[in-house]
Every structure is written in C-alpha cells, then in structure tokens.
Structure 1
Amino acid sequence: MKNFFNLFYKNLFLTRRLLFGLIAAVVFFIFRFFFSWLGWLPNLYVGALVLLAIIDGVLLYRTRNGLFARRQAPERLSNGDDNELGIYIENFYPFPVRLGIIDEIPFQFQKRDIWFKTSLAPHQHKLLTYLLKPLKRGEYEFGLIRVFTQSPLGLLMRRYNFEESEVLPVYPSFLQMRQYELMAISNRLSELGVKKIRRLGNSMEFEQIKTYVPGDDYRNINWKASARHGTLMSNSYTDEKSQQVYCIIDKSRSMKMPFEGLSLLDYAINASLVLSNVALLKEDKAGLITISEKVGAIVPAEKKPAHLNKILEVLYKEKTRYLETNMELLYSTVRRVIKQRSLVVFFTNYESMPALQRHLPFLKRIASFHLLLVVFFENTELKMLGQAPAANLEDIYIKTIAEKFAYDKKLMVKELNKYGILSILTSPQSLTINTVNRYLELKAQQKI
C-alpha cells in the first residue's frame, strides 16, 4: 500500500489543461443556476472530464517504467570554462509524450532554471545538452533527474525520479590548457593572441646538418659539409631545452579579490597551469611553489610526461588564506628548492605602493639569483570608474581617486624595473595570454 502511495499519489500532478477544464465546469454550473435550459449538460461535461482524466492516468501508469533518463557528464569540470553536460532520455511508451525535465545541479551555480521541454515519439530517444560554468574549485554534488510526463490527452502529469546523484570535482582550467596545447602543436597560437616573437640570435644548442634551402640564414652554412656533399649544407639549431620555469603563486588575502566570479587566485592557478604546459611543450622543466604566511605545495621542476597531472592535482587543492605573505620564508624556500638559475614567475597582487615596498627587499634578493617576473593585476573596476564621465562633484572625486590608484600601479612597474625585476601589469582576463607571451619573448631573447 505504501509503495502504491509513493508510486501513484506522490508523483501525480494536475496540468493546466485539467485545471482550466475544472474552472469551465464551475462556470457551467453557475450558468445553469441562471439558465435552467442547460439541464444535465454541466453534469455530462464533468463526467466526461473525469472519465478522460481516469483514461489519462491509466495511459501514464499502465507502463511501470515508461521512461529512462541518465545524466552524461565528464569525469571532472574545468573551472572558469563552459562545460558541456547532457541528459539522455528514452521513451518506452507506445504513444508520443511531452516532457518537462529538471536536472538538480549543484547549489554553487545558484541556478533554478535548468528546465527542458521536449517531446518524444514512441520508443524514441534524445540527448539534451546544456552548459555549466563553475567559478570555484572543489566538489560539486548533482542531485536527481526529475522528468514530468504527459500523454496526448495532457490532463495529468506523472513524475519520474532517476537516482543520478553524483559528485564531480572542479579542477583548474584544463580546457583552456588543452586549447593552448592544440594551438601550439599546430602553430596557431596567434589565434589565441600569442604573439610571434622575432628571435634575436641563434641558440647554442646544435641539432643537425641539413640541406640549405632559400630562406635559411646564410651565416649557418657549413662549408666543410658543403664541400663533402657537393651542395650547400646548413647547420640547424634548436631552442635551448631543459631550462627551469617555476610558477610561484601567492595565496594570501590580496588574491581573494573576485573579478567576473573568479578570484585572483583562480586566475593565477589557471595561468600557471597553461604556462607549465607550454613550457613542457617547449621541452623545459616546469615547477610550482605556493606561498602565504607559510609554504604550501612544492613541486620540483621536471619534464616527465605525467608531471603536468601532478601539477594539476596540487593546484586543485589550493585555497586562499587570509594572512599576509611571508616574503622572508619565500626567499629561503626559493634558495633551498631552486638550485640553478631559472625563470621565476611570481603571481601576486599589489594595491598600494607601501605593499610593494614591504616585498621589494626580498624580490631584489630573488632577482639576484634568478630571472624574476612579477605578475600582478590591474583593478578593472577602478579603471572603468576612471574612464567614466563625471556628471557631478561626487563623480569627480571618485574619478580622481580611481585614476590615482591606476597611476600607482604604473609606478609599481617602474619601481620594479628600476631594480632589474621584470613585471607584467595585466587585467585578470588577459593574464594567461600576457604571461605566455612574456615567457616566449624571454625564451626567444635567450634570457633564460
């Protein structure tokens, strides 16, 4: 009896068509009170409506499992990217049905409109796809798939609940990483905004002797080999390999600031993952250090095939902390972990000149041993305020203060350059492009 209650009563709903029919019945009875000639017509109408509702219920419930639904999702989601998910639905009824489908997505998305309307012919199946864009790393729990079914009569609606609860992890932006990887393999990085850097000279790593073709640098002609072969031969050089590229990510409170839903820490993590992948594609070694008031994760620089997955797993677990970065500890960690001269990319954020001045002594020490690149962020909200027209005195004050903060950021770049420290001042959205461009530029200029 309890199973029948759960199967029939709890999952049975009235449709608008039936409600409008009942309202029409009430109107019929009201009219009969004034017009006696209507007689038994309202009673016949109500009887027909009830009979059709019973027939509709029999159609919906005579097939015990009239529908099948399953969520199709990847093993993990990519943070900050549009991830495609799907719902596979199949109709086992011998008649066409109209469906309303609710997918109970994780609460982190704060969406209540994942509702699909579709129809299926007898024994037809269909795949419905939609996109989700997570803005925070971690575990996301999906709930049930609820399907509301109507027969051609459309008076009643039966609900199916499919136990599709699952937990999907949200990792740093591996979709963006793959996009850069595919573009790099096919030499189409310029489509993503990566600049083609002119090489200033030849790297010192010899690759092979090959036949000279028009367009090769004539300075690389190997005259001895040309004399032996009776044709012009040219020395071929390749990029210097096995150089170390370390990404250092600041996890302090300054990286908690959000832009377009993502925190600065997440932007830095996504950029670090892409930069590490590009460095490995260039046959350099990629390493990682995270820091706040204490040392977080340390991944020594390597170029093994599985090394990128190790970096990905470490970045997945990193979270913002709420204390200031211990720069003395960072310096000692860099000296202990990084034994040879390397490119050190430090992702952090400075909102004022005093904040930079506190870090500057330790940044100068690191720069004396390594090629240091400090990456920090423009405040795009303040930049928009500074560019907005001023309509009154209050707007003038706001605009002046915003421009003052923007000017301070430019002064920080000059201050770093004064001590030979490279820097990138970028908007969060352009972080990955600008960082990869600078890495390729430094590599082409043979500074690492």
Structure 2
Amino acid sequence: MTRLFKNWWDRLLFRDRGIIPTPRLLFLVAGVGVLLTIISVWRYSLLYICIATALVIALSLLDLLFSPRRKQVKANRVIPDELERQKNHSITITFQNDSSYDCMMRMVDQIPTSFQTVYPFNQIIKGNQTTTITYEVLPLERGKFSIDRLYVRYKSKFGLWEKQKTFSIEEVAHVIPNLTEMNRYLSDPQKYLLHEGVKIRKQKSGIGEFSKVRSYVVGDDPRKINWRQSAKLQEIMTNEYEPEHGKYVTLLIDCGRMMGVELTKGNRLEKVLEATMATAAAALKNGDYVSVIAFSKDIHAYVPPAKGLEHLDKILHAIYPLQVDPSESNYQNVLHYVQLKQKKRSLLLLFSDVHTFIHEDSMLQSLRQVRRKHLFMIIGIEDEQLQAKRSVYPSSVSLAMEKAIAQKQLQFKNKQILKWGKQGFSVLEAPKDRLAVRSISVYVDQLNRGAL
C-alpha cells in the first residue's frame, strides 16, 4: 500500500510516467455530475447518474488518441559549460515530435534548489517538427551540480488528459565565481582604477623595460629624450618605459570559519574569489607570474606560478569548488608552505579576515622570516555591522552603549593595524563591493613604486 501511494504521489509531483486528468476534465465531469444531480430530483435515479458520469470519463479517454505517443517525443538539453554565480544564463531544451499531432507541453527540469528559475508554461510542440524552448536560471551558489532528469507533461488540443514522461539527460553544471570585476578590468584598466586614484604609470628616470619611442609632450622628463631619433626625424622624441614584467604574485585565499560571514549576496569567500580572479587577471595581463594557494587548517588548493591570460582557466578550475571550512585557519602552516613552494621574491597578497589575523601575535616571528624574501600584504572586507553601529545616532542608552563598544573595537583594530604597519606589514580593509578594485590598486601601487 505504501509503495502504491508513493507511485501515485510521484505521478502528481511530476516525477513519474503515466496519464493524469487535467482541470478541464475535472470541471467537465463535475459539471455533468451537477447537471444530472439536478435532473435526478424529478426523473433519474442515482444509478443513472453514476453510469452517465462513467460514460463521460470513458469517452474522454479518446482524447489520448490525438496526442503523441511517448516514444514519439524526444528531448535534448544544452547547458553552458560554465555558469557564473549571480548572473542569468540560458538553458535550451530541444523537443522532437515525430507524430502528426500537435501537443501543449509543460516541463520541470531537475535544476538544483540553489538555482532560481521560472519554467515556460504551455508551449506548443508542432507535429513532425523540432521545437526549441529556452528558460533562464540564476545560480546562487558555486560548485559542481549534476542534472540528469527532465520531467514533461503534454496534452492534445482537447486538453482532457495529460501524458507524463521522464527523460534521462545527464549534464553537469559548473557554477564559477562571478567574473564581472575581472572582465571590467580587462576591458579598460585605467577606467577601472579611476575612482581609486591609482594609475598604471611608467616608472621614473627610465627604470624598467623599454617600451617605445614617442613624440615628446609637455611634462615629460627631459632626461628621457632620445636625441638620435630626434635628430633623424627632426622632432623631439622621448623614450617610454614600463614596469618590468616577469614578477611573481602569490594570492592566498583564506577559507576558514570567519570567511563564512554572510553578506548581502553570498558570503566573504564569494567576494574574495571574485577579487582573486580580478587581481590574477591584472597580474597576468602585465606579464607577471601568478600562483594561488587556498587554505584553512590545511592546504585546499595550489596553482603553481605561470604567466599568460590562459593561466586564468587553470586558476578558475582550481578555486571554483572551494567552500568555507568551519575550522579556524592555520596561518603559520600556509606561510611555511609558501616558503617551500615560492623560491623567488613574490608579492604575497592574503585575503582574510583582518580582525582575526591581527590577533595572531605569535605570527610576527614567522612573518619576519617571510619578509626577508617576500613582500607581504593582507586585505580584508570591512565589517558592515560594526561600521553601522559606529555611525548610528545615540538616541537611547542602549544605542549609545552599542556605539561606544563599536568605536572601542574599531580603535583597537586601528591600533593593531598601526602596530603591524610598524613591523613592515601592510594591513588593509575595503568595502565588499570595492574589494577587487582595492586589491588590484595595491598590486599596481607596488609596481609603480618598484617594490617588487
């Protein structure tokens, strides 16, 4: 009995094969039943009513003859290889109707619950034709998701009965971090950094790699005038230099407990991954070597240093499955791992929770050893709630206490950041929407200063 009930329940929930009555048939039977009941008051008995109702239902089964058989309906699904988080993507379903009958179709795809979608309703599938249906999905979580079922219901033009069919179409959806920030930088680096007040400028006094010879303009350094080309072209020409390529940049991604703090959209780790891809794109476009290490209490992912924009694909496929680890992060372990893997001088840019990091006074000795060879910086996301509490108007005693505590915590944090700064370690925080641009500006600033 339980198994029979489950089969019927699956049938009602779009998860089985078979036939089911449509609302049109139910209204038809109910209307006939009410009409016969009224007539039976004067003439017919209840037996005649039951016989007439059963006859109507039996005649309605003829409707199934005017709809395609299950073997005559085929389906195929096309999903993009990579879906960006918090970005709409199209999924295409192609139906092939090998019968001569048109049908009205509705479907439910086995999309994960972390996807937002609205399925198309009552699509007409022409007989002996192929019909393509497209619907939008909005992934909310990263990861690898398996999609292998497509549930379909279709009915004839009379619409009294619906046939159900389940297609087995195995697909894998790879949901990657949102790459909007990375694409914005690649399209126009100077415009991307405009609001940060950082320019990708040339180095001073001809230091760096020679780029080209161009016409002299007001404001250029006279010491960079190319006198030979000026005499040849009868026009003042100057040498242009750019920062040296081939530097090493190591991006450290903290996946520990504090990176699971929820933001408006996603959590801290989501924003860090977006900033990582944008910073990696900036360094690779400049011709530098980029490596990535993801960690919590253990090392979760390592991408060896390489250059060229094609290296972005390797970084992306290594970090897109990362999830928050409920354990605390082991910073000393990752610093030791960096020293083993990165033999050349590198910019170590750590994406982590600043409040947790600055309390690790025991790390100072390890960082001093790292600083002898590498340039170390840490960048995190500002605590929105703490900033909001500090700015609130103290209209009551409780609000005044909350504001005082928030100010005290911020003062302590600033004091610790100043302490770390005196030791030669830069500690920065940025709003969640400015993390990517701030991390790129930090990298560009180090290039402009020649720190690497």
Alignment TM class, shorter chain as reference: 0.7 to 0.9
Q: Which AA in structure 1 matches 2:208?
A: E
One-letter amino acid of the structure 1 residue matched with residue 168 of structure 2: E
Counterpart of 1:366 in structure 2 is 370
In the TM superposition, 1:173-192 aligns within 5 A as 173=178, 175-176=179-180, 179-180=183-184, 182-184=186-188, 189=192
Give the aligned partner of residue 277 of structure 2.
Answer: 273
Task: Mark the runs of 5 or more structure 2 residues left unpaired by the alignment.
Answer: 1-10
The one-character-per-residue Cα deviations of 1:115-152 (angstroms, maximum 9, x if unpaired) are: 33032252362331212314233x21213111211222
Deviations 1:371-410 (CA, angstroms, capped at 9, x unpaired)? 2221122222444455566676555544544454445444
8 Å contact kept, 2:102–2:156 = yes
Q: Following TM superposition, by how much is the alpha carbon of 1:443 offset from its aligned partner in structure 2, in angstroms?
A: 2.1
Matched, 1:13 2:20: yes
For residues 91 and 182 of structure 1, what CA distance do their matches in structure 2 show? 45
Q: Which amino acid aligns with 2:250?
A: Y
Q: Which runs of 5+ in 1 are unaligned?
A: 1-5
The equivalent residue for 2:215 is: 212
Cα gap change, 1:381/1:121 in structure 2, threshold over 3 Å: closer, same or farther?
same
Q: Alpha-carbon deviation of 1:12? A: 0.5
Q: Which moved more, 1:193-202 or 1:335-344?
A: 193-202
Aligned mate of 1:337, from 311, 330, 341: 341
Instruction: Tell me if the contact between 1:352 and 1:409 (Cα under 8 Å) persists in the aligned partners.
Output: no
1:73-92 to 2 correspondences below 5 Å = 73-79=79-85, 81-92=87-98
Q: Distance in 1 between matches of 2:275 and 2:173?
A: 22
Any idea what SS the aligned residue of 2:120 has?
strand
> After the TM superposition, which segments of 4 or more aligned residues of structure 1 sit over 6 Å from their partners?
37-45
Aligned residue for 1:116, secondary structure, equals coil
Matches of 2:112 and 2:100, distance apart in 1: 34
Seen in structure 2, the aligned counterparts of structure 1 residues 249 and 20 have a Cα distance that, compared at 3 Å, is same
Corresponding residue for residue 420 of structure 2: 416
The answer on 1:102 being equivalent to 2:105 is no
Could you say which residue in structure 1 is the equivalent of 2:263?
A: 259
The correspondence for 2:201, drawn from 199, 202, 209, is 199
Residue equivalent to 1:57: 64
Count of aligned residue pairs for this structure pair:
435
Q: Secondary structure at the match of 1:105?
A: coil
Is the contact between residue 105 and residue 125 of structure 2 (CA under 8 Å) also seen in structure 1? Answer: no
Identity %: 20
Structure-2 change in CA distance of 1:14 and 1:182 (3 Å): farther
**Contact 1:241–1:282, Cα closer than 8 Å, also in 2:** yes
Q: Supply the distance in 1 between the matched residues of 2:59 and 2:412 (Cα, whole angstroms).
A: 75
SS of equivalent to 2:169: coil
Residues 142 and 321 in structure 2, CA contact (< 8 A), matched pair in contact too: no
Q: CA deviation at 1:318?
A: 4.2
Query: Over aligned residues, Cα RMSD in angstroms?
Result: 3.8
Distance 1:136 1:248 in 2: 19
Return closer, same or farther for 1:217/1:72 CA change in 2, 3 Å cut-off: same
For residues 334 and 372 of structure 2, what CA distance do their matches in structure 1 show? 15
1:160-171 map, 5 Å: 160-171=165-176
Query: Are the aligned partners of 1:142 and 1:165 in contact in 2 as well (CA < 8 Å)?
Result: yes
C-alpha separation in 1, matches of 2:200 and 2:307: 26
Deviations 1:28-68 (A, max 9, x none): 1321233449999978974784365223111125x444433
Q: Quick one: distance in 2 between partners of 1:100 and 1:404? A: 59
Gap change, CA 1:94 and 1:188, over 3 Å in 2: farther
Contact 1:12 1:159 in 2 (8 A): yes
**What is the aligned partner in structure 1 of residue 317 from structure 2?**
313
Q: Secondary structure at the match of 1:258?
A: coil
Partner residue of 1:425?
429
Q: Distance in 2 between matches of 1:176 and 1:362?
A: 36
Pairing 1:65-76 to 2, within 5 Å after superposition: 65-76=71-82
Secondary structure of the structure 2 residue equivalent to 1:290:
strand
1:442 aligned partner: 446
Matches within 5 A, 1:397-412: 397-412=401-416
Query: Could you say what secondary structure the match of 1:351 adopts?
Result: helix
Distance 1:345 1:149 in 2: 56
Structure 2 residue 33 is matched with structure 1 residue 29:
no
